[in-house]
A and B are shown apart, each in its own frame.
Chain A
């Protein structure tokens, strides 16, 4: 016999399946299926062992690995003085310093590449490393200082009382406590530089090709999809390893937070004032120099008005701004709807299925953007050929942005007490009405922040877009890259002007997000 209770539970279960289906299909068709196609094409190429393949894989893979490792070490070294200063002392402008340090990190990669060119960097390995350090210092400063500044000072004092010098206490007390945070920051920086695309393409060209750039070159310039697919497999292995290491350390990082509590930092005194002051000013000057140079160089000789003209080859540069805003709006809409449905599905159930679902949704963020774009052109000719459709641009952006929406909304949804929903259900509200009148109002603020992230991600996205954008439709980042490839000072000037515009729009949205103060930048 069917009880009313059983029917209700069944309808809720079917409702869950219904809500989970949309994000599952979205990520399944636009991400999982292309990855399977890449594996299929790439593995058969690897098993044939095409001539010269091994040499190329070794050369490109090795270069990717060592430039990412070196970039990580250099970033750690460069970030150390500033991290020390903001972790150990309270001083005027400390908040401003930690905010400014995050600026490079939120900038689109093509903007960073253009800024370094404007500083006079030429295509070389040195330029790539410098830009990687510039880009990622924020990760180290923010991640490490959030732990360092909370270390209980009594631990340090205890060390000193027992007769250890400052260096010995640092080595034996502070450093072990920081190790998980340093490891987490390093694995993130490693992941970013391992999958770095825009910066390497602009500041290295094809001669300093990383896996990402080589996948792009093989797929887009030479149209050797099998070779690109085998490179993508190597890339996937590298990325998965880095993500695994990161997740291991993230668990231990949260453990160390529990031990340490927030504390008031001392103000620097005497000679320390000068040391702290010069460390902060020097670090910020180096970090701001490329942006200042980009801005001041962009002001010359009517570059901004040039954007409104038309170039014989690339068309009208200013049109790309309209395209980008349109695509960002569509991508934001898609990712907000899909992300909210996913978050609702994940929060409604606890259990392994829900956990796996969460993991599946996070994957596109961890995978490189190039792999996403490449997957589209390998796989999306079935069941209908979508590969020439401009819709692929906002869809690719949404795919990268969905995890942001899920991350920002999930904690809020989980905090809603189940009793409230149950009460509403008992009073006769349908599941949809319960969601609309209880969940939605509570989660809407977090959803706004997630949408804001999605918008920023879409505006700056370059890796996937460079695969799916057709020559008659440009976004701002692909237009900047096209202009950089054109000879002549005016084209370069217009690339700088467009970069400044993109940076300004991005900064505007990020500042609005920071005010909403729900999400915290620089935490992952």
Chain B
């Protein structure tokens, strides 16, 4: 009798312990580690709907650029600084996957994403994508009657090269993306010749996007009528214009665009995998996805999401943007940058 009572207590205690382990308690706060540009666009409203629905607050931990963020996640693997990571793109994805920092999670919303963007093993979930494209000053091309180039190949001509501003691939992420676009276009054999022609034609190289866009670009008072920027830059011109304008002063050249996809993932070792999964679902929901264009000027991954009118009107989504596989990038990126520097500065 006594023994069985003790046994019963023991079993129920054991059951309780098991239950405590398997059914996680809902956390008061989830931490989302992200790159600075994401953190910059976060407002009180960004995750308000999520908090209302689940009672969980979302704290954003900014960790520098995408590379540093992945690095921080790898270094704290198993004892993560956050529950969810957002903002790893193709450039750093293979390193993150090789280090197995993510927990596999298949979001309930992932079927609404274009299958080409989806990781087949569901280690990461695509949240948004953006295209790095050459922008041009429409007024300049109209007034000079020079044709807007339709292929990257055309830029070899001095007429165009001397009017182009690019960013340094070692210091700027759109600069790196544009370098990838030229590798995708001309291949390993030809891409450096293309850059040699740009160099001889007098292309301008800025260290970062802000300098290229706001100092070198003709629309903002600089000398270059073309600049490497984003497909979403023209609607941004309209949104941020000091005086209301109907149409942007800039256009997008659809050739030579490079697509960057940004993913989120649950960090392995989180105490709250179930809640973290809910946060990923939320980031793919229309509620969040429809905030993406005007907050970060990239495109929602969820195909059902409605674009705001300023985007719908002025944005160009290129038909066939270049992409390189994450593994191919990881293996060659440094060599490419070195070769690029040798051609452009050596």
Question: Chain B residue with minimal CB distance to A487?
Answer: B210
A221–B65 Cα distance when bound, in Å, is: 8
Q: Do residues B79 and A205 form an inter-chain contact, with CB atoms below 8 A? A: no
Contact of A471 among B61, B168, B335 (CB under 8 A): B61
Whether B81 contacts A388 by the Cβ 8 Å rule is: yes
**Interchain CB contact (< 8 A) of A472 among B65, B81, B92, B334:** B81
A60 and B78 CA atoms in complex are apart in Å by: 35
The answer to whether B338 and A55 touch across the interface, beta carbons within 8 angstroms, is yes
- Of B9-17, B69-77, B123-131, B294-302, the stretch lying at the interface with chain A is B69-77
Check if B116 is an interface residue, CB within 8 A of chain A: no
Instruction: Evaluate whether A471 and B72 lie within 8 angstroms (CB atoms) in the complex, with A205-B171, A207-B170, A223-B95 already known.
Output: yes
Task: Kindly identify, within residues 200 to 236 of chain B, every residue whose CB is under 8 Å from any CB belonging to chain A.
Answer: 207, 210
Chain A interface, number of residues (Cβ within 8 angstroms): 29
Report if B321 contacts A (CB, 8 A).
no
Are the C-beta atoms of B334 and A385 separated by less than 8 Å?
A: no
1/0 contact trace for B72-94 toward A, CB 8 Å? Answer: 10111111110000000000100
A224 contacts B by Cβ under 8 Å: yes
B33 with A223: CB separation less than 8 A: no
Cross-chain contact of A222 among B67, B78, B80, B81 (Cβ < 8 A): B67
Determine the distance from Cα of A221 to Cα of B337 in the docked complex, in whole angstroms.
14
In the assembly, what is the distance between CA of A491 and CA of B71, in Å? 25
Q: Is B247 an interface residue (CB 8 A)?
A: no
| Residues of chain B in range 49-73 having any CB-CB distance to chain A below 8 Å | 61-65, 67-72
Q: Given that A55-B342, A387-B75, A471-B72 are contacting pairs, would A312 and B39 also be in contact in the complex, using a CB cutoff of 8 Å? A: yes
**A470 and B171 alpha carbons, distance in the complex (Å):** 22
23 pairs across A/B with beta carbons < 8 Å? A52-B335, A59-B338, A123-B207, A206-B170, A207-B171, A221-B64, A221-B71, A222-B67, A223-B71, A223-B74, A224-B334, A227-B334, A312-B39, A312-B62, A313-B62, A385-B77, A385-B78, A387-B76, A388-B75, A388-B81, A470-B76, A471-B69, A471-B81
Q: CA–CA, A472 to B59, complex, Å?
A: 11
List residues of chain B with CB within 8 A of the CB of A377.
Answer: 75
User: How far apart are the CA atoms of A206 and B171 in the complex, in Å?
Assistant: 7
Choose among A52, A224, A314, A388 the residue that contacts B338 (Cβ–Cβ < 8 A): A52
Tell me, yes or no, whether A418 is within 8 Å of chain B by CB.
no
Q: Is the interface of B mostly helix, strand, loop or mixed?
A: helix
Q: Which of B69, B74, B171, B334 contacts A52 (CB 8 A)?
A: B334
Give Cα A223–Cα B207 distance, bound, in whole angstroms. Answer: 21
Q: Is B274 in contact with chain A by the CB < 8 A criterion?
A: no
State in angstroms the CA–CA spacing of A103 and B335 once bound together: 43
Say whether B320 faces chain A, with CB atoms less than 8 Å apart: no
**Is B150 in contact with chain A by the CB < 8 A criterion?**
no
B189 interfacial contact with A, CB 8 Å: no
> How far is A56 from B80 in the complex, measured between Cα atoms in Å?
33
Closest to A467 in B: B75
How far apart are the CA atoms of A59 and B334 in the complex, in Å?
A: 14
Question: What are the nearest 7 A-B pairs in CB distance?
Answer: A388-B76, A52-B335, A313-B62, A471-B63, A52-B338, A221-B67, A223-B71
Q: Chain B residue with minimal CB distance to A209? A: B170
Contact residues of B between 142 and 178, Cβ < 8 Å to A: 168, 170-171
**Binary interface encoding of chain A residues 46-84 relative to chain B, with 1 for a CB under 8 A from any of its CBs, else 0:** 000001100110010000000000000000000000000
Closest residue of chain A to B43 (Cβ to Cβ) is A312
A220 in the interface, Cβ–Cβ < 8 Å? yes
Q: Who on chain B is nearest to A315 by CB?
A: B62
Q: Which of B279-334 contact A (CB under 8 A)?
A: 332-334
- Do residues B79 and A385 form an inter-chain contact, with CB atoms below 8 A? yes
Task: Specify which chain A residues have a CB less than 8 angstroms from the CB of B81 in the assembled complex.
Answer: 388, 470-472
Give every chain B residue within 8 A of A205 (Cβ-Cβ). 171, 207
Residue contact B39 to A313, C-beta cutoff 8 Å: yes
* A391 to B: closest C-beta gap in Å: 13
**Docked complex: A464-507 residues within 8 A CB-CB of B:** 470-472, 485-487
B78 surroundings in chain A (CB, below 8 A):
385
- Given A221-B65, A312-B39, A313-B39; 6 other pairs, CB 8 A cutoff: A51-B335, A55-B342, A205-B171, A207-B170, A470-B81, A472-B81
Let me know if B242 is at the binding interface, CB within 8 A.
Answer: no
Q: How near does chain A come to B237, taking the closest CB pair, in angstroms?
A: 18
Check B71 against A313 for contact (C-beta < 8 Å).
no
Known: A52-B335, A312-B39. A207 touches B207 (CB 8 A): yes
**What is the CA–CA distance of A398 and B169 in the complex, to the nearest angstrom?**
37
| A323 nearest CB across to chain B (Å) | 16
A471 touches B64 (CB 8 A): yes
**Is B24 interfacial (CB-CB < 8 Å)?**
no
Question: From A473, which residue of chain B is reached at the shortest CB distance?
Answer: B81
